[in-house]
Amino acid sequence: MKTRAAVAVGAGKPLEIMEVDLEGPREGEVLVEIKATGICHTDEFTLSGADPEGIFPAILGHEGAGVVVDVGKGVTSLKKGDHVIPLYTPECRSCPSCLSRKTNLCTAIRSTQGQGLMPDGTSRFSIGKDKIFHYMGCSTFSNFTVLPEIALAKVNPDAPFDKICYIGCGVTTGIGAVINTAKVEIGSTAAVFGLGGIGLNVIQGLRLAGADMIIGVDLNNDKKAWGEKFGMTHFVNPTEVDDVVAHIVNMTKRGADTIGGADYTFDCTGNVKVMRQALECAHRGWGESIVIGVAGAGQEISTRPFQLVTGRTWKGTAFGGARGRTDVPQIVDWYMEGKIEIDPMITHTMPLEDINKGFDLMNQGKSIRSVVVY
């Protein structure tokens, strides 16, 4: 069949809207009509050329929602008409990682996914004889796409596509980092670096978890009001203080605790210098710092080992530690029950033809999330 897609033709180049050939689902695969997709900073990261796994031409996009149109042989858990969210972190429930119960990082199809291919090592997308690569196993910047059955979460059919697509990455990553990775306790203090599409969801996760003090850190003062909407209690612009680490350590001295430091800190910027700041303003003895941001090829983190010797823990999280087929339907239900907010964070919606405007808005700090509606 033919599908309309925004194709990433090369690093740093605008996406091009094209008609692309799409082969139907093979064994264990599912054809999905994408109804809406968010634009995440990770799409921009890969498009910019900073992603070591970046490969062109490819169809980017990994934050979608849609409807099952057709299923391949052997597919048992999904049928035509089911509403689904694509999962860049699949959940096969039978690989050593899934069975370990220690991680959400299913390894069943990770190596082909990183090469822009389906699990059988081929692509379903092409233009004539030229192969177009998949991206993060999802390629939601195409109106129709093919995914493995294990990479689709079946969700409540009453939920609006143009909102729940955000659960395909940003919402789940932010809330999951708090609940699954950090396991934040009631009464905790926390600092969140980077108040974009991910950081604001970390903030709403912290509010859900009952954190007392939620410090937001961003270079952009417009983000103060955004953070406050979702539960942020204090805002710091690092360019307006002498030393952001000392400043946060000082702010978090409470009662008899004269040492200071946040119980939990989160990097949602992808900047390795910020990751260091986030670690170093975690509390001596027990503070945990969670890396969410994705850093470009060649970037490395550093700190004095003494920071770890004195009890801080440095952790990372992918997709908020969520097991997609199990957890994503539940997060959709939380949204439908009013337990979490999504609508105000979707600041812009646009047709596929305007997708590059969505990237511009993100790069200019003017949007929280842009959503493309097909």
219 part of the interface to ligand NAD, by CB under 6 A: yes
Residue 169 within binding range of Zn ion, rule CB under 5 A = yes
Question: Most distant CA pair in the chain: distance in Å?
Answer: 70
Task: Dihedral sign for Cα 64, 68, 69, 74, please.
Answer: positive
Residue 40 bears catalytic tag: yes
Determine whether 95 is an active site residue.
Answer: yes
92 is catalytic: yes
Q: Is 106 a catalytic residue?
A: yes
Distances (CA, A) of 293 to 20, 110, 112, 325: 32, 20, 23, 23
Residue 191 makes contact with ligand NAD by CB under 6 A: no
Q: Which does 52 bind (CB under 5 to 8 A by kind): Zn ion, ligand NAD, ligand AHE, none?
A: ligand AHE
| Residue 354 to residue 6: CA distance in whole angstroms | 10
The reply to whether 169 belongs to the active site is yes
8 A C-beta contact, residue 317 and residue 292: yes
Q: Are 3 and 144 in contact (CB under 8 A)?
A: yes
At 190, the amino acid letter reads A
* Rounded least distance, CB 152 to Zn ion, Å: 17
DSSP state of 133: B
Binders in 11-30 for ligand NAD, by CB under 6 A = none
Q: At 345, list the tokens.
A: 């964070």
The pair of structure tokens assigned to 365 is 């700090």
Smallest distance from ligand AHE to CB 18, Å: 24
Told to check if 289 binds ligand NAD by CB under 6 A, we report no
Options 46, 83, 98, 312, the catalytic residue: 98
Q: Which of 3, 113, 139, 173 binds ligand NAD (CB under 6 A)?
A: 173
Residue 196 binding result from Zn ion, ligand NAD, ligand AHE, none, given CB thresholds of 5 to 8 Å by partner type: ligand NAD
Output the smallest distance, CB 42 to ligand AHE, in A.
3
Size of the site for ligand NAD (CB under 6 A): 32
Contact between 196 and ligand NAD per CB under 6 A: yes
Q: Catalytic one among 26, 33, 44, 95? A: 95
Interface residues with ligand AHE (CB under 6 A)? Answer: 40, 42, 51-53, 89, 105, 110, 169, 294, 318-319
DSSP 192-258: EE--STTHHHHHHHHHHHT-SEEEEE-S-TTHHHHHHHTT--EEE-GGGSS-HHHHHHHHT--TT--
284 is catalytic: no
CA distance 93 to 312: 32
Q: Which residue is nearest to Zn ion (CB)?
A: 40
From 94-102, 106-114, 129-137, 212-220, give the range in contact with ligand NAD by CB under 6 A.
212-220
State the pairing for strand pair 264-267/189-193.
Answer: parallel
Annotated active-site residue 98? The verdict is yes
Other CB atoms within 10 A of residue 98 CB: 21
What six digits make up the tokens of 109?
């199809």
> Which of the residues 19 through 48 are near Zn ion (CB under 5 A)?
40, 42
Q: Is 270 one of the binding residues for ligand NAD (CB under 6 A)?
A: yes
96 burial class (0-12, 13-18, 19+ CB within 10 angstroms)?
exposed
**Beta carbon of residue 339, minimum distance to ligand NAD (angstroms, whole number):** 21
Closest CA to 328 of 209, 159, 186, 192: 159
Q: Which of 91, 121, 115 is nearest to 104 (CA)?
A: 91
Positions in 142-171 near ligand NAD (CB under 6 A): 169
CA distance 229 to 58: 36
290 binds ligand NAD (CB under 6 A): no
Q: Is 281 annotated in the active site?
A: no
217 binds ligand NAD (CB under 6 A): yes
Work out what residue 217 binds among ligand NAD, ligand AHE, Zn ion, none; the CB cut-off runs from 5 to 8 Å by kind.
ligand NAD
Judged by the rule CB under 6 A, the positions of this chain that interact with ligand NAD are: 40-42, 45, 169, 173, 193-199, 217-220, 223, 238, 268-271, 274, 292-294, 317-319, 362, 365
Q: Which residues are catalytic?
A: 40-42, 62-63, 92, 95, 98, 106, 110, 169, 369
Judged by the rule CB under 5 A, the positions of this chain that interact with Zn ion are: 40, 42, 169
